[in-house]
Amino acid sequence: MTDPLMNLYNRAPIAVESGKGVWLTDTAGRRYLDCVAGIATDALGHAHPALVAALTEQAGKLWHVSNIFRIPGQEALAQRLVDASFADCVFFANTGTEAVECAIKTARRYHHVKGQPERIDIVGFAGSFHGRTYAAINASGNAGYMEGCGPRLPGFVQLSVDDAAAIEEAIARPTTAAVIVEPVQGEGGARALSGEWLLRLRALTRRHGVLLIHDEVQSGMGRTGKLFAHQWFDGAAPDIMALAKALGSGFPVGACLATAEAAKGMTPGVHGTTFGGNPLAMAVGIAAFDTIANGETLANARAASADFFDRLEDLRGRFPDVIAEVRGKGLLIGLKMIPNNREFMGIARDHGLLVAGGGENCVRLLPSLLITPAEVAEAVTRLEAACVAARGAMAQAA
């Protein structure tokens, strides 16, 4: 039989049927402890009652009207985001890559209306991931995503985060519009950039009149234990920020946040969306925001992170032939593996634990922010069993 789906995903051999909290159940009835969480999206776990209630209530009232009318839910969620961040205004989209597209447009439009249309260059970094649309893959510069998609777009520059001189030189160029960076690289291997690095970048962009874009699609909305990852460092706030994933906690919601100054070029007709900010999305987004932003959820994320890192460092010490490094921030955790990371993901799955892949041969643990101490312990117990099996497989192959 021909598969009616386009052949774009190398899917794991399980068919999921239902979820509750950190647990997923497949169609055969087997339960898995889910440390993928829809790739850092299901921040409140599966079927959280507040999200189910919000979606159910709104579904009986109004789904979609487009942005030719006011949508009260947009105004309510935008105000929450503005009150909790550096931003003055918000544009709602459906996905992270759409939020990044809006961020790029916002940066270039800013310079255009200031009479500097030559300032179009967007400086990004190796190991980054900003989405799958054409501008987003150009911003990331990953050759694997670019191959066969035609010529690279002009106005995109990729550098190494470790090349301080090249970063300074690029920011000083008269054609540079903005720098885009993930405070914690997700797909790039759970690499957390230091406060010193982020603050230096902020100072350089200010010095040269360049806008700073933070892609917090994965690191934002509580993932690191703060509402936004850059909030760990006073003075690191950007001019523009892309959000998605946990913003809807499983429902498609994206947002581009900006200061009033940075957004001065975003005028009627310049940008838009049909579905972004629809009433269903806003109802779920408000419920997700209110649950994530409260102190208890963020405190639980920080405590769970500390517990995970302690247990994982101990595990690494006992399995140095399997785990080379524990890294990341908050509940965006990376394990740099000795065996092939994709093979290890399969071994973990065989032991009832779901983990995500990542760059630099990492696996990522991206669990619900509400994961309990008992569930953290169970996740590491299953991870240990996977390490034992991986060690055995490597010994057998030697």
What are the pLDDT digits (tens) for 235-257? 999 999 999 999 999 999 999 99
CATH class of 50-292: alpha beta
pLDDT number for residue 226? 98
118-172 confidence digits (pLDDT tens) = 999 999 999 999 999 999 999 998 888 889 988 999 999 999 999 999 999 999 9
5-16 confidence digits (pLDDT tens) = 999 998 999 999
89-119 confidence digits (pLDDT tens) = 999 999 999 999 999 999 999 999 999 999 9
pLDDT number for residue 1? 47
**Residue 141 Rama label (left phi>0; alpha psi -120 to 50; beta):** left
177 and 122 in contact (C-beta within 8 Å)? Answer: yes
pLDDT number for residue 2? 74
From 125, 215, 329, 336, active-site residue:
215
pLDDT number for residue 284? 98
Tokens of 342: 């994709």
Superfamily for domain range 16-34+295-397:
Aspartate Aminotransferase, domain 1 (3.90.1150.10)
The verdict on whether 245 is a catalytic residue reads yes
The verdict on whether 290 is a catalytic residue reads no
The verdict on whether 34 is a catalytic residue reads no
- Considering only CA atoms, which of 298, 328, 296, 291 is closest in space to residue 313? 328
Tell me the C-alpha to C-alpha distance, in Å, between residue 210 and each of 108, 121, 201, 272: 10, 10, 10, 24
Per DSSP, what are the bridge partners of residue 89? 258
Q: Which residue has the higher pLDDT, 397 or 356?
A: 356
Q: Does residue 366 have a pLDDT over 50? A: yes
Q: What is the Cα–Cα distance from 137 to 148, expressed in whole angstroms?
A: 12
Task: Please tell me whether the overall predicted TM-score, pTM, comes out greater than 0.85 for this model.
Answer: yes
Strands (E), 164-236: 176-181, 184-185, 191-192, 211-215
The pLDDT of 390-397, averaged and rounded, is 93
pLDDT band per the 50, 70, 90 thresholds, residue 220: very high
From 92, 125, 129, 228, active-site residue:
129
pLDDT number for residue 143? 85
From 105, 226, 245, 329, active-site residue:
245
| Long-range Cβ pairs for the range 314-323 (8 Å, 24+) | 315/380, 315/383, 315/384, 315/387, 318/387, 319/384, 319/387, 319/391, 321/391, 321/394, 322/387, 322/390, 322/391, 322/394, 323/387
Q: Does residue 321 have a pLDDT over 50? A: yes
Find the range with the poorest average confidence among 54-63, 184-193, 284-293, 319-328. Answer: 184-193
pLDDT number for residue 338? 97
Phi, psi at residue 208, to the nearest 5°?
Answer: -105, 10
Q: Which residue has the tokens 């961040």?
A: 85
Amino acid at position 171, single letter: I
Q: Would you kindly state where each structural domain of the chain is located, as residue ranges?
A: 16-34+295-397, 50-292
pLDDT band per the 50, 70, 90 thresholds, residue 311: very high
The pLDDT of 365-381, averaged and rounded, is 98
